[in-house]
Amino acid sequence: MHIVMRLKIVQAGDAVLRQRGKDLAASEIRSREIQNLIEWMRDTMHDAPGVGLAAPQIGLSLRLAVIEDKPENLKDLPAAYLKERERKPVPFQVLVNPKLTLQGPADVEFFEGCLSLAGFTAVVPRARKVRVEYLDHQGEPKIIEASGWYARILQHEIDHLDGAVYIDRMRTRTFMSVDNYNRFWKNTSSADLRKLIGWEG
């Protein structure tokens, strides 16, 4: 029987969010301690809710993250919105000691949020395609080739493992509360938003 465990998500200003996480050996990954942590991180991500959670976000400086973009996250979003963002469901995955390679410039710009900056959002440039070499939940080496929103999720979570958060990369003029985003900007296209806010693209 699985007992749901929700961990506390640390917020911006906590020093752990600015540290590079510690690598985990395959034997550590397979330990009961880390296996339990993976399950608890999954529970916490779902409860938040979010599409990714990195160990530094729950106060642990480890190179470990979980991601999942469930089909139900997408069911109420307009087709045009999903198409523009190339957003499709992503199955649950565990990433340990990931090595990220950008396959192109960071020139795709959309709003991002973060569980460690609760209540805020901003436009963040990201690469459209990435390659990630990592260890899975059993310490086995794997490779992901991702594009679109999947690639954005990977870049966001791996940034956390390197001590970075999206505000380090954001278009500063687009930083706003989620409430104001929903009130004023939610249905604005990227092209129109660029004109209205006047960031250089």
Q: What is the pTM of this model?
A: 0.94
Which strands sit side by side in the sheet containing 90-102, from one edge to the other?
52-54, 64-69, 90-102, 129-135, 141-147
Which residues in 3-37 are b (16+ Cβ under 10 Å) and which e?
Answer: eeeebebbeeeeebbeeebeebeeeebeeeebeeb
Q: Which of 84, 112, 157, 200 is catalytic?
A: 157
Superfamily for domain range 15-197: Peptide deformylase (3.90.45.10)
Q: 133 catalytic, yes or no?
A: no
* pLDDT one digit per residue (tens) for the chain, 201 residues: 566 678 999 999 999 999 999 999 999 999 999 999 999 999 999 999 999 999 999 999 999 999 999 999 999 999 988 999 999 999 999 999 999 999 999 999 999 999 999 999 999 999 999 999 999 999 999 999 999 999 999 999 999 999 999 999 999 999 999 999 999 998 787 778 777 777 654
How many whole angstroms separate alpha carbon 163 and alpha carbon 20?
5
The H or E element spanning position 152 is helix 148-161
